Structure formats: structure tokens, C-alpha cells
Structure 1
Amino acid sequence: MEHFFTIIGGMGTSATETYIHQLNERTPANSDQDYLNYILVNHATVPDRTDYILDHTKPSPLTPLLEDFKHQAALKPDFFTLPCNTAHYFYDELTKVTDIPILHMPREAVKWISKKLPTAKRVGLISTEGTRADHIYDDEIQSAGYELVLPDDKIQQQTTELIYGNVKEKNHVDRTLYHEILRQMFVEKGCDTVVLGCTELSLAQEREPYTMHPVTDSQSILVDKTIELALKSRSGVKK
């Protein structure tokens, strides 16, 4: 197969399914051959990223992820995508085992804010506790000149319940809970935009979209960037 990309997914599987659905839905296609070439590695048994980040005595996701990237790099994809925000904790280590580009989802999300929301100053973040602890988004948001707004303990507990208790455990989105989390971030915390820093939250946005204020959906942004790069690669073949 010529000019394809590899998706290292399965963290979690329902969220990866949302990424694939959006990817296929947004690809400009009028025939089977117009769709994109890709390989999906749905590695559902990768240990929980947050568990490890908060407690390094827990099983590490790094070893299986390194193996996935090594094996897939041998097939020579044009690039990799990693639709799991928390897994970007290992981004620098993963780039050491391959010269093939790996899209950086948090970085792409912050770039999107500068392009689409030029007046934004206060950028909120809702995510897993692991993503909060690893500061990946913090660094990207603050280095871009924004004021970072983090959830208080109540909002974080609600977010954790939505991610784990709803989506991961039941493949269900509590619309009232999801919208209340965002309402608090926008109205009570005064955010200009809120980054959905977990792909389960992106799944929630797809199923029960919040439209009262501008949400920065990291997975949706990754979908658009993936399509952009894949189409550029394919057009290069045709020249």
C-alpha cells in the first residue's frame, strides 16, 4: 500500500472509533478509491495512562507503545497519529524510535486557537487527571501566550466521572453532566475557550455537542490535520 498513515489507537476504543468516523466522514470522497489509506492499531490493552502518570509503580504504557511504533515504522507510513491526549506524555520517547513524523495533538489544538479564536486570552482545559499532572497542555497553552484556566476539584471530579464512569465504562454520555462542566468553565471561570483534552470528551462533544461557547476539540482538530497531510501526500503521488 502506497502513501498511508498509521493510527496508534485503542486508548480508549470508543474514542478511537469517533476519530475514525470523523476521519471518514470528512474525507472528500465520491468513490471507494477517494478515501484515505491508513492502518489502525487499536491497542486496547495498553495500560491506563493516567494510572501510570499518577503512580509510576503501576504498569507502564510506554513499552507497548514503543513496540507499536517500532513495528509500524518498519512499514514506512507517511506519518503517525496518536488519538490519545494523555499518551502524549510519552511523545518525546516515542519520537526517539522513529524518524517518521508523529502529529502532536495538544500542539495542533493550541495552533487552532490562534487561527480560529484570535481574541482568546483565557484558555481552559478539561482532561484526565493524568493530562493535568503531566502538564503537556499547560506548557503548550502558556508558551503560546494564553492564560491557562484549570478546573477546580469539583469540576475535575465531574470530568473524571464523565470520562471513566460514563464513556469508558458504559460507552454513554451524560449530556447534563457534560454541559454543566463546560458551563462552569465558561461562565464561572471566565474562559474564552475550553480545550477538550481527552478523546472521551471529544466523543461527548460529537454525541451531545455543546454550542453555547467556542469549544476547542483536540480530536476534531487532529482529524482535520490528518486529512490535510494525507491528501497532500496523495497529491504528491499523482504528480
Structure 2
Amino acid sequence: MTEQSLGVLGGMGPLASAQFMLRLTLLTDAARDQDHIPAVLWSDPRVPDRTAARIAGGEDPLPALLRGIRGLEAAGCGAIAIPCNTAHGWFDAMQAATPLPILHIVDAAEAELLRLGVTPGPIGLMGTAGTLAMRLYQERLAPRGWTCLVPDEAEMTRLVSPGIAEVKANRVAEAYAPLAEAAQLLVARGARAVVLGCTEIPLGIAAGPALPFPVCDTIDGLARAAIGWAGRAASHPM
């Protein structure tokens, strides 16, 4: 069991980072404070918008991401988790800049799907326009037998992007209806499960009735990956 701290490169957005810390705590098999994982949260909401950078010529977020990584290195962390899917578009550059292992959220999502009993095949994928444009999930999962069905442009404009924006604006309850509708449309097209591939989306989906099909919460998946790194495997499915 490592005694090094987990570094959490967060703030993208702040509520998703806070939820990651909550789930990291609740999913850890612990009976007292000292059984939990030492963690350092670097929550910097000033990181430039990742989707705007990728598809609209916005400011490059990489310098801010590397600044956070340097801070986590200085804090003595032994690994880094990034509870933001779109930021993984800069994964290779971040990993090349640090000797610390960065836990990849797509790998964590795949492990979460398998934990839920979903085997390779057609899955729905919801995420930011940046995540979908970069094909982060498609390119990493296709060689392993997964096929990603994604919302069309009209569904992104009407449902997914507004739902994400509601969570970022702290209007979580208002995010449920559009996000749930988008997920249901993917299942109607043949998805056997839906990956909530933006860490704001699980917060919106959790604000209403449970959906009647498997959903992969990438916050939970990344938290379980971090727990596995730390050697504190959860013994309960909270």
C-alpha cells in the first residue's frame, strides 16, 4: 500500500472536482480517518475552456494544466487523477511532462463498464463537444471492441451542451431533463449502456429518477481507479 498522496488536477469544473473527492471518500474501504487516501486537490477554475480551445481556437489550456501538475508534484503526490474528460485531449503532453502516472479517465470508464456487467459492444457516449470532436473514447476503446454511439449535432445543441452548462452554473436540478432525454435517445438507437463522458453529466443525471439502463459515471470510474492505485479497494458499492 502506497503512502503517497493522490494528486487531483481539478477545477474543470469545481463542482465535478468536489464530487470526485466525495466519491473517492465514500468508495474507499475505510473505518476511520486514517484508512482514507491522502489526497491533494488542485482546483483551478481559471484553466481555459477545453472545448473552446479544441474546436473554436480558444486559449490553450496546457500551460495551466502543467502549472497544476507542477503544484501536485511539489506537494509530493504519487499519481494524478483528472476529473475532467475533455482535459484528456492533452493527456499525452501532460504525461510527457511528469514522471507521475496519470490515471486515464477513459480506461477508468471501461473498467467501470465491465464492473457493471457491460461487455464490449455498442455503448452510448455523452460528453462535451470537445470530447466528442477529439474522439477520445472512440479511438481508445474501438481496438478493444467498443462502438460508441454519440448524440447528433441537434441533440448536442438542444440537450447535452445546455445540460452541462446548467451544472456548471450550479443549476443541477435543471440539468436532469435534457441530459436524461439525450441518454434515452442513445439507448433507443441500440446502446446497451451510456457513458457519462463529462464529469458534469453524472451530477445532472443524479438530480432526477434513476434511468432504466446502465449508466457509466466517469467520476465513480476514476475514483475507483484511484482507489485501486492506492491499494484500498472498496468492499461495498456505495
- 1:108 equivalent in alignment to 2:108: yes
Q: Secondary structure at the match of 1:221?
A: helix
**Which 5+ residue runs of structure 2 have no aligned equivalent?**
234-238
Q: How many residues align?
A: 229
- 1:159 alignment counterpart: 160
Q: Give me the CA root mean square deviation.
A: 1.9
Query: What CA distance in whole angstroms lies between the structure 2 residues aligned with 1:114 and 1:167?
Result: 27
Conservation of the 8 A alpha-carbon contact between 1:202 and 1:220: no
Query: What CA distance in whole angstroms lies between the structure 2 residues aligned with 1:229 and 1:171?
Result: 33
Using structure 2 for the length normalisation, give the TM-score.
0.89
Q: Secondary structure at the match of 1:45?
A: coil
Query: What CA distance in whole angstroms lies between the structure 1 residues aligned with 2:10 and 2:171?
Result: 16
Conservation of the 8 A alpha-carbon contact between 2:111 and 2:221: no
Query: What CA distance in whole angstroms lies between the structure 2 residues aligned with 1:104 and 1:209?
Result: 29
Query: What CA distance in whole angstroms lies between the structure 1 residues aligned with 2:84 and 2:125?
Result: 15
- 1:144 equivalent in alignment to 2:144: yes
The structural deviation recorded for 1:87 is: 0.1
- 2:43 alignment counterpart: 42
Deviations 1:116-156 (A, max 9, x none): 43545211111000001111111122121122211112321
Query: What CA distance in whole angstroms lies between the structure 2 residues aligned with 1:7 and 1:208?
Result: 28
Using structure 1 for the length normalisation, give the TM-score.
0.89
After TM superposition, the runs of 4+ consecutive aligned structure 1 residues lying more than 4 A away are: none
- 1:207 alignment counterpart: 207
Query: What CA distance in whole angstroms lies between the structure 1 residues aligned with 2:91 and 2:21?
Result: 21
Which residue type is aligned with residue 137 of structure 1? Y
Say if 1:27 and 1:60 are closer, same or farther in 2 by CA, change over 3 A. Answer: same
**Which 5+ residue runs of structure 1 have no aligned equivalent?**
234-239
- 1:4 alignment counterpart: 5
- 2:17 alignment counterpart: 16
Query: What CA distance in whole angstroms lies between the structure 1 residues aligned with 2:216 and 2:199?
Result: 12
Q: Secondary structure at the match of 2:210?
A: coil
Conservation of the 8 A alpha-carbon contact between 1:173 and 1:204: yes
- 1:237 alignment counterpart: none
Q: Give runs of aligned pairs for residues 1-239 of structure 1, distance below 5 A.
A: 2-56=3-57, 58-157=58-157, 158-164=159-165, 166-174=166-174, 175-187=176-188, 189-208=189-208, 210-231=210-231
Query: What CA distance in whole angstroms lies between the structure 2 residues aligned with 1:183 and 1:112?
Result: 20
Q: Secondary structure at the match of 1:79?
A: strand
* Identical-pair percentage: 29
Say if 1:89 and 1:71 are closer, same or farther in 2 by CA, change over 3 A. Answer: same
Which residue type is aligned with residue 61 of structure 1? P
Say if 1:232 and 1:33 are closer, same or farther in 2 by CA, change over 3 A. Answer: closer
The structural deviation recorded for 1:106 is: 1.1
